[in-house]
Chains A and B, each alone.
Chain A
């Protein structure tokens, strides 16, 4: 059974058809890249999968269950986590709190436990702390656990965002331009990091990216979008030579 099955997905913003007839099937354990020029509708697809925009038409089936119409928090609880193109962290909160809050749905204690600091509260909080620190260590930011996120450099903020997404406990991880603003060395580190967490947490990854180095290195399969539609799909080296793709990126006539 595929992990994610998207069929005929489309959305209108007023008179604008932002995404049209988008199909995508992802098997467990795959790393799939979603690429395309700016404004192609990639992030809109992410927003529909994660429940932020309800699609105008089409179906999204995750683990055999339709998730169209579910609220974002319900979809997250089913096992889809994401990061954002422009980092969206809880800026005034500490790194640790940014990660710990993602355990909220599975905290395992109630309001009364919290008010009265019952043994159950203490046990579950200790567990949350332990797991949060484990994630921070995996991402190499444990020493900054008590720093407010807004005071971290950009690269570290990206790491916190990934740690937070992992704390959701996902099976499918959606990464929206994880390498944006990184230099080639950092991109290489990121590639290794994504490989590592994919192994460690048994993840399936769908990522949007412009950095071709990362995409070619990491993705087993690519889907290319332009003007809201899929124009090509296939293995990275196939897609690279597809005239339609070159045209979308470089313009008509550029590929003679």
Chain B
């Protein structure tokens, strides 16, 4: 018991130290506003990517429409804030919840028909859903003018800051970890490994897949809600299928079934994307696409299990200890 408390304490201290460090670097200007934006973006990508990690990495459901759920979250949260934004932090929390619930609900509704499909077919169906969302958002101003349609949405209060993003990401990491290391997480990975066998040992596979998909989409929506309050201008193009691939790249590069891999890769990837902007210069900036596609190809060729290959940082993994340690030795 002492050891457990100790470990949790260390995790809390680690998180606080990291936060203080980042805060100091931002206030002293070591991290300039530009890189601060990148940092914020990396945290948003982390939250969204953890959602896809649950759907694809842990449950094995291939989704190509993840950015669409980020978009649904961004637009619904942004619209909520534009309408009820006068209550400061409280309305921001409300907006994030709206983004999360709306994206989760849409995930649930689309999940009921499409999660009966397997692998490639599921990918195609979710890809289709991504196109539907893009077209719907492009024309949304015809129903709700505030959404701006293809011209994009402006006027969402820019209230997201380091505290909001950092601690939301932290909470998401903890909740995801708690989900993964529970009977629900085990049910998810059993479906990823062998859906038929999972079914035959009593796992309601459809319900579990739907739960994982809804949860993953809700996280995408939460990321979207934060996005809408971090960037003054959002447009449907921000949530197109190419962005879905970005999330997919992060999850695959990090290693399917590794939370650690997803978080590290999400942050590294956001910084790489911006770093390359400087390395390549304005003339060759579009070559970034070539470079990260190359990174993906090379990873698949030489290290298919991804950077972390299903492993986690030890402190994230709850220890399973026997009540009777001698019994384990006997076995």
Give the interface of A toward B (CB within 8 A): 50-52, 71-73, 76-77, 81-82, 84, 88-93, 96-98, 100-105, 107, 109, 111, 114-117, 121, 125-126, 128-130, 133, 136-137, 140-143, 145-146, 164-165, 167-168
Do the beta carbons of B194 and A88 come within 8 Å of each other?
A: yes
| 19 A–B pairs (Cβ distance < 8 Å), ordered by A | A73-B200, A73-B205, A76-B200, A84-B197, A88-B197, A91-B193, A91-B194, A93-B190, A102-B201, A105-B202, A105-B204, A111-B211, A114-B183, A114-B184, A115-B175, A125-B183, A142-B331, A143-B328, A165-B201
Cα A130 to Cα B204 with chains together (Å): 24
Do the beta carbons of A93 and B202 come within 8 Å of each other?
A: no
Known: A52-B196, A125-B183, A143-B328. 15 other contacts (CB 8 A): A71-B204, A72-B196, A72-B199, A73-B204, A88-B196, A89-B193, A89-B197, A90-B198, A91-B193, A114-B183, A114-B184, A117-B178, A129-B322, A143-B331, A145-B320
Do the beta carbons of A130 and B323 come within 8 Å of each other?
A: yes
Q: What distance in Å separates the Cβ of A44 from its nearest Cβ neighbour in chain B? A: 15
Cα A81 to Cα B198 with chains together (Å): 11
Interface bin, chain B: 20 to 34
Q: Is the interface of B mostly helix, strand, loop or mixed?
A: helix
**B182 contacts the other chain (CB 8 A):** yes
Contacts of B200 in A (CB 8 A): 50-52, 72-73, 76, 81-82
Cα A82 to Cα B198 with chains together (Å): 11
Q: What distance in Å separates the Cβ of A108 from its nearest Cβ neighbour in chain B? A: 9
Contacts of B42 in A (CB 8 A): none
Which among A101, A121, A130, A146 is the interface contact of B198 at CB below 8 angstroms? A101
**B152 contacts the other chain (CB 8 A):** no
Cα A84 to Cα B190 with chains together (Å): 16
Q: What distance in Å separates the Cβ of B265 from its nearest Cβ neighbour in chain A? A: 19
Evaluate whether A129 and B320 lie within 8 angstroms (CB atoms) in the complex, with A76-B200, A164-B201 already known: yes
**B186 contacts the other chain (CB 8 A):** yes
